[in-house]
Amino acid sequence: MNESKIKMNLGKYSDSSNKAFEELKKQKIVERIWQKDFTVWSNEQTEITNRLGWLFSPEVTLKSLNEINGFVKGVKQDGFTKVLLMGMGGSSLAPEVFSFMFGAKNGFPELYVLDSTDPDMVFEYERSSRMKKLYL
Helical (H) or strand (E) element with 57:
helix 57-63
> Which domain range does residue 120 map to?
74-135
Residue of 48, 120, 57 lying closest to 86 (CA atoms): 120
Q: 42 with 82, same domain?
A: no
pLDDT of residue 38: 87
Distance CA 82, CA 79 (A): 9
pLDDT digits (tens, 9 = 90+) for 12-55: 998 998 899 999 999 999 999 999 888 998 888 877 777 788 88
The residue among 136 and 12 whose pLDDT is bigger is 12
Task: Indicate whether 116 pLDDT > 80.
Answer: yes
Q: Are residues 84 and 124 in the same domain?
A: yes
In-domain check, residue 98? yes
Do 120 and 80 belong to one domain? yes
Arithmetic mean of pLDDT, 73-80:
89
88 lies in the same domain as 42 = no
Q: What is the pTM of this model?
A: 0.59
* pLDDT value of residue 135: 47
Please give the pLDDT value at position 133. Answer: 53
Compute the distance between CA of residue 64 and CA of residue 77 in angstroms, rounded to an integer. Answer: 20
